[in-house]
Structure 1
């Protein structure tokens, strides 16, 4: 009888809980399932290529096809990307945003809805379902690729209208996500009782207040915080922080200290000194916008002298993530392949843009440059010659022979004597753009060449 009584009490308790806290029960079930899968996901990370030893693929572009098929499309490509020398893929924001199935994710609503809750007008995100996302991450890990999450924590969108005692006017700051995690109200946004503002707002969206302990707890401190859930449950390996101009560098630093993983910030500024400052304060990498704008000026303006300009990779190559195009900006039309030849032979961690690799440029040539980056482009950089049409630089080698890259932006073949690191050594062009195989002199000098509007990369045969 005593056993039966206990059983009835348990049934009553479960029934009461289900009827009064459905989201809470879902959360408990979700957490239990999450804990069971964490060990498998951590094990799957063993054997991943170290981030930075290869090349990152930006695995999306603005307005990829809607309809929930993008995760499946990317999954079909991860093994071939890995075979080509990619070491990580950067995904768009993966959680449910205000525009539901039509959103690119940069207007985040529920950080824990990966396409499994019916809210914001859809169940799936633009890219697919939670199940499809998990399948993609698992397939990427099996292909030895790390997966980088795009983290949007400056602003939120999709909240309900509520009175705001700090401004005296109502605003859209009442967030009630169906995941049952990270509810938000006006005190979690600027202005509030503790903080009036931070570095900046974006697009008129409610500006998340990182000074509030509740916000910090849910973003990175709690055991089921966004940071820890994304890493330990979903299986993400690193972070790309969106619009970091909107909040202080310590936010990124604290997130990184809480969960680790490769981290890079989008500090959109062409000043290399500013990028170096932000990277140092945040203690993470930064996209090298200074390099991007110098390349734009060099190749669009047909003046390679611009490549002499200051860039983050020249100041701190270990913190520079270089790129030729991304989902926000694509201004290098003339000589885009030459720009890739530049970043894939120079210091920094280079990124390939999905559409350049899969649609717009020669995949064969990009694969060749990725191979060159991964196998020859080691050590410090020495710039050997720069003028309006020609750029020649030497990588001095680190556990490899190094290389000489010759970029020719003119309309005719060019030849130039340059000093290498190799004495009495036969060298070849690893791009196949020249069939020369000269032998360096005893003093390490040699004549090399490059075809018009093209490039060559030289190293010992």
Structure 2
């Protein structure tokens, strides 16, 4: 992006449920802005199935920690007043604020009701596997703590199209399509139709449901003055709904662009491209294909061909719509299986932060660390400063070796210093890189190598890195 914007996902799944995150944002906003962060992605601010719910078990979008519901007034992260203060603090520090939005489902219903439902094949939801029958569903949402404040809609089974639990038989796992309902389209194509994910799946054919979500969008902007959105589970929601929702909000608030990014969990860039087409380029997407490449390198013991690091990725296909990342709240929960290996994270962050393409997102757990995981804050602060101050101008790639790769950034009028990056997933090595600076000294801002390198009279230098490491050489 033109100003080298950098987002931070400001939460992880296992944060303590102590109600302190919103206060932490207010305290930390100035430090984050000084480090080079320009926007914060906050977790779902709504009340979930309990006071410890991360927010994705969305119970009441209209309760931001204001009403005594689901066992507490506050959410996992704090009260509504603390949330508003945190957002004000972020804005005062010059940070934009994006909130996580869950439109796919509702969880934690207040009561059950009887309705007829048809079981479907979980591997092909277009096929029924039994007769329509009476089931008892958790689809009554009365919001007794909030009442009619902000919204008077009480949700019932007809606002949903499917569930996977029948209270009558106490059986979970069978997906029931509710009476006279069909799955929404277009959605992800896995399992025939991937509309249903979990809990009570919102039916985007319901005019009442859509109207409530539209009203909530205007209310949340007026309440928090947010600058954008991260949409959860977009491949499970009718893609055209995002078009109507974003268009209506942008008409209502023409001074705001509302940057938006969707979580479409797939490694296939063609599938991501189709979603971008369906939504008319109205939002960006997280670059899961690049994430899978980074993860493969990190677990490959040097066998991954680094020349292919950017191949078949969203950032290669649609760089203006790619949000690049190294870890997130989901994969962080299963580090040995799902996450980028810890040793490779400095390399991966150098890749997403110091290149021209994509909008990078730094993960809270990697920056601050957790009781179980390492903090990479020292190297991340160095990389963030390099992005803020030096990652500008023409980029020249040197992806010509299976282990040692690099690139240069040649600067611009406002940022005149050149930069060269070299990394290896195997043995250390060097590369001759053109930096367009003659007889200029460069130092490695990561501190991995302490020597100074001087370019030659033709504007090139032999820049190196240690084994399994990255060095970022900046003109002195």
What TM-score do you get using the length of structure 1 for normalisation? 0.81
What corresponds to 2:138 in structure 1? 172
State which of 434, 454, 458 in structure 1 corresponds to 2:473.
Answer: 458
What corresponds to 1:259 in structure 2? 249
State which of 201, 209, 228 in structure 1 corresponds to 2:203.
Answer: 209
Contact 2:307 2:399 survives alignment (8 Å): no
In 1, distance between residues paired with 2:264 and 2:379?
A: 30
What corresponds to 1:97 in structure 2? 48
4+ residue runs of structure 1 moved beyond 6 angstroms?
none
What corresponds to 2:39 in structure 1? 88
State which of 131, 152, 165 in structure 1 corresponds to 2:81.
Answer: 131
In 2, distance between residues paired with 1:433 and 1:143?
A: 32
| Equivalences for residues 12-51 of structure 1 within 5 A | none
What corresponds to 2:290 in structure 1? 291
In 2, distance between residues paired with 1:329 and 1:137?
A: 27
What corresponds to 1:343 in structure 2? 352
Contact 2:231 2:262 survives alignment (8 Å): yes
In 1, distance between residues paired with 2:285 and 2:77?
A: 26
State which of 355, 369, 379 in structure 2 corresponds to 1:365.
Answer: 379
- Please identify, of 313-322 and 155-164, the stretch whose mean Cα deviation from structure 2 is larger: 155-164
Aligned length, in residue pairs: 406
In 2, distance between residues paired with 1:271 and 1:395?
A: 29
In 2, distance between residues paired with 1:105 and 1:231?
A: 18
In 1, distance between residues paired with 2:240 and 2:421?
A: 39
1:373/1:214 CA distance change after superposition, 3 Å = same
Contact 2:436 2:458 survives alignment (8 Å): no
Contact 1:271 1:290 survives alignment (8 Å): yes
| Equivalences for residues 29-428 of structure 1 within 5 A | 53-98=4-49, 100-159=50-109, 160-164=111-115, 168-177=134-143, 178-180=146-148, 181=151, 182-190=153-161, 196-198=182-184, 199=187, 200-220=194-214, 225-260=215-250, 261-282=258-279, 283=281, 284-301=283-300, 302=302, 303=304, 304-330=306-332, 331-333=339-341, 334-346=343-355, 347-359=357-369, 360-379=374-393, 381-395=395-409, 397=411, 400-401=415-416, 403-412=419-428, 414-423=429-438, 425-428=440-443
Contact 2:406 2:431 survives alignment (8 Å): no
What corresponds to 1:14 in structure 2? none
Contact 1:114 1:125 survives alignment (8 Å): yes
1:381/1:179 CA distance change after superposition, 3 Å = farther
1:262/1:307 CA distance change after superposition, 3 Å = same
1:322/1:52 CA distance change after superposition, 3 Å = farther
In 2, distance between residues paired with 1:216 and 1:151?
A: 14
Unaligned runs of 5+ in 1: 1-49
What corresponds to 2:174 in structure 1? none
Unaligned runs of 5+ in 2: 119-133, 162-176, 188-193, 251-257, 333-338
- The offset of 1:336, in angstroms, is 1.4
Report the structure, 1 or 2, having the larger helix content.
Answer: 1
- The offset of 1:436, in angstroms, is 4.5
What TM-score do you get using the length of structure 2 for normalisation? 0.79
In 2, distance between residues paired with 1:358 and 1:54?
A: 20
1:460/1:69 CA distance change after superposition, 3 Å = closer
1:441-460: CA deviations, max 9, x gaps? 45433211112322122343
1:20-57: CA deviations, max 9, x gaps? xxxxxxxxxxxxxxxxxxxxxxxxxxxxxx99732111
What corresponds to 2:464 in structure 1? 449
In 1, distance between residues paired with 2:394 and 2:236?
A: 34
